[in-house]
Amino acid sequence: MEEVKSLDTEKRINIDEDSGIALRDEPKPVDPNAPDVPVIPGADLPVDPGQETGPKNLETKIREAEGLLKRYYSQFIEEKRIWEDREKGNVYNSRTEMNDIRLLLWQSTHKHSETFIVRDSPLLYYLHTKLAKLYVESEKFAPALRHYIAAFRYHPLEMTEEGFRMGEWQKEDVLGYDESSAKEHERLYKEWIQAEQKLKKAKDDIHLKESNWIREGKQLSDLVSQRKLWSDEVRLIEETRKNAKSNYEDSYNKRYLVYLNKRKQIESNDLYAFSNVVKKLEDDNKERLKIVNKLGTAGKGIYVLFDYKRNTDFFAYELILERAYRIWNENPNVLNDIAEQYRQDGKKEKAADFYEKALNEYLKNPNPTDEEKEKIIKANLRLATINADLKRNILAGNYYETFFKLSPDTLEKTRVSYEIGVFFNHKIGDPERGASFLTYWLEKNSKDWNPSLAEDTGLPEMESIAYFYLSKKDKKLKKFELEQNKLNIALVQWKKIDEKLILAEKERLELIEKKQTLKKDLMVTTLDDALSQYRLMDLKIEDQEAVIRVLETKRNKIPLIKILFRLGVLAEENRDYKKAQEYYEFVIKEGGETDIRVALKELERIKKILETGNIEPPINESI
């Protein structure tokens, strides 16, 4: 026990170099005739020059823990052979480990599976889980998996009250469950049982005494007073029984339930760590099954082959998570990962439910760790996006604001701030609420907004949309000059993309011309060089067409027609009808059929205003 506790200290455990078994510290024989060596206070103690000192590294911790395990297994021939086979992979392989996991998971839905459990040994459970965590820390996931599987062979996942009172775990209380508490609970339990038996015997004895009284021919008149004495005795015994039962029930709540809760938390956290190892190995297996198609340009890229282990009847990661949840349904990490699995499976309502539960559990901790803070931030973002998908826009807005408030300044926060601003404008229709998020994004990305930036981030379509939505706030507050400035910047960004698109189209046409020239050359020669040049030109044209499609998508994202119509209205407000005409003519050039019809009516209206001087309100504002 002391050696196990020393694993996390600087005290070294001696390991046999040949077998790797941890050696016991044998007391050295003392020569009674040897002279006493005075100990000088503060002097350094002699240290073996071959012995390591100072904090232990990962390798040392693993070697010492493995040494302790080997020493234990060396006592039992069968278990030693099994463990050696597991380590060397002679008999046990990935499929055997899969079957071991199946046996473990069998307990989730079935009973009478105790054959999987060897015995309840907190010491071995602690050593195996400790080693598994050390291997995970050193990024060796295969041995970590072996140790987690072995750990649960020495640790039943269902613990009854009888197991608490009389279980084998009391001999090895390395997990800190408090064996003295269990023994005290056993004592109170026995007192209660004895009191129950004593009361039953006392009640039965009254009937015997009454029968004997009659048989002996004693006076019935005296029996009444005697019966009262016997009843008083029973009443005292009943009082003792009540006190014993009350003490036992109090112990049940304060000792057994506290133990059970502590045990469940340890088990759930260990199963959660185990599930992450399984997930890592599943994902690694999936990575190995990736292939790259380099045979042609059509459909080129990475494909994932069908993974029978991951996609058929063996969802180990999900099942272990479910088991961890069943054991302790308030484990925030488990709740969070289950929510993520539901989200990936497209079950958004269940995902939202579990994210909310996880968030509530995380928030119960007044001093969360950095990792927990990160999960709280991410859970708020997930809840925002899921609720937005489920059309629960008010809820989504609240979660978005919480995410923004809690999140530090990161690239993720900058990216999401744009989404939040667009969400409040487009989904909720509240430009004032969305303005601060768009302003934050522009501060990080727009040289027009923040001239101190070294350069633009190359996101003109997003800048244009951000300025357009910010202009809506100015419109609402009747700050028309500011609104016009923002709309003009939005239009400039659209023009930048349009210019790039014109150049890209021009380059594509030039490439097509070159291809035609090469085609003519192929009529004269069929040399490999000419053929490869022709094929290369095909690839360049395909790449250029992809560039054009991207630019077209970016350009089409911008609400150009709305920007132009509003700029036209603002120009009319300033009595600049010539500028307004230019904007409406721009709509005719770029808009659809309905937009063109409205723009033509606007031009007719402006013409009448210029002829008659009678001002009529714009048509597009009433649409």
8 A C-beta contact, residue 379 and residue 362: yes
Greater confidence (352 vs 199) lies with 352
Across the range 302-318, mean pLDDT stands at 51
CA 216 to chain centre: 81
Rounded to the nearest integer, the mean pLDDT of the chain is: 80
**What's the average model confidence in pLDDT over 240-250?**
91
pLDDT digits (tens, 9 = 90+) for 152-177: 888 888 778 888 887 777 777 766 66
Tens of pLDDT, residues 50-70 = 456 667 777 777 877 777 777
pLDDT tens digit sequence for 211-236: 777 677 676 666 666 777 777 788 88
Higher pLDDT, 342 or 453: 342
Is a pLDDT exceeding 50 seen at residue 49? no
Please, what sign has the CA dihedral across residues 477, 480, 482, 485?
A: positive
pLDDT tens readout for residues 458-496 = 788 999 999 999 999 999 999 999 999 999 999 999 999
Count of CA atoms in the C-beta half-sphere (13 A) of 198: 17
Whole-number pLDDT of residue 372? 92
Looking up tokens 């473990």, which residue turns up? 104
**Is pLDDT at 77 greater than 60 in this prediction?**
no
Apex 347 CA angle, 343 and 353, nearest 5:
80
Pairing verdict, β 301-304 and 290-293 = antiparallel
Please determine, for residue 28, whether its predicted confidence score (pLDDT) is greater than 70. Answer: no
Q: Would the pLDDT of 92 be above 50?
A: no
**Is the CATH number 1.10.1060 carried by domain 179-266?**
no
**Alpha-carbon distances, residue 233 vs 193, 226, 228, 243 (angstroms):** 19, 11, 9, 16
What are the start-end ranges of the E strands in 241-367?
A: 290-293, 301-304
**How much is the pLDDT for 8?**
65
Q: Which residues pair with 97 in a beta bridge?
A: none
The count of other CB atoms within 10 Å of the CB of residue 535 is 12
- The neighbour count for residue 409, using CB atoms within 10 Å, is 9
Q: Supply the pLDDT for residue 623.
A: 46
The pLDDT value given to residue 313: 43
Strand spans (E) along 309-404: none
What percentage of the chain has pLDDT greater than the value 70? 75
Contact indicator for 173, 179 with CB cutoff of 8 Å:
yes
pLDDT digits (tens, 9 = 90+) for 518-528: 887 777 766 66
Nearest-angstrom CA–CA distance, 337 and 326: 14
State residue 295's pLDDT score: 44
Stronger pLDDT, 579 or 42, i.e. the higher one: 579
pLDDT digit string, tens, across residues 490-505: 999 999 999 999 999 9
Residue 15, SS3 per DSSP: strand
| pLDDT, position 385 | 95
565 or 94, higher pLDDT: 565
What is the distance between the alpha carbons of residues 570 and 149, in angstroms, rounded to a whole number?
Answer: 72
Residue (of 29, 321, 274, 342) closest to 128 by Cα position: 274
> Tokens for 308?
């029978």
Q: What is the pLDDT of residue 469?
A: 94
Residue 590 contacts residue 560 (beta carbons within 8 Å): yes
What's the pLDDT at 399? 95
- Digit-coded pLDDT (tens) for 526-583: 666 777 888 888 899 999 999 999 999 999 999 999 999 999 999 988 888 899 999 9
- pLDDT of 440 over the 60 cut: yes
With H, G, I as helix, E, B as strand and everything else as coil, classify residue 65.
Answer: helix
Q: What pLDDT was estimated at residue 43?
A: 44
pLDDT at position 181 is 84
- pLDDT in the model for residue 382: 95
C-alpha distances in Å from residue 545, one per residue of 85, 188, 225, 370, 425: 59, 83, 112, 46, 33
427 or 26: which leads in pLDDT: 427
Over range 450-463, report the average pLDDT.
Answer: 78
Q: Facing residues of 293 across strands?
A: 301
Across the range 197-219, mean pLDDT stands at 76
Percent pLDDT > 90 in the chain is 33
φ and ψ at 290, to 5 degrees? -80, 145
Tokens read off for 17: 């170099």
In tens, the pLDDT along 385-403 reads 999 999 999 999 999 999 9
Q: How far is CA 383 from CA 153, 315, 333, 345, 395, in A?
A: 38, 25, 16, 15, 9
How many degrees, rounded to 5, is the angle at CA 599 between CA 598 and CA 605?
90
The pLDDT score that the predictor gives to residue 84 is 55
CATH 1.25.40 domain residues, the chain: 330-406
Task: Tell me the pLDDT tens digit for each residue of 95-126.
Answer: 555 555 665 555 544 444 444 566 778 888 88
**Rounded Cα–Cα distance for residues 340 and 375 (Å):** 11
What's the confidence (pLDDT) of residue 127? 87
Give residue 354's pLDDT: 94
CATH 1.10.287 positions along the chain are 179-266
The CATH class that applies to domain 330-406 reads mainly alpha
Is the pTM higher than 0.85? The answer reads no
Gap between the Cα atoms of 355 and 343, Å rounded? 10
| pLDDT for residue 155 | 83
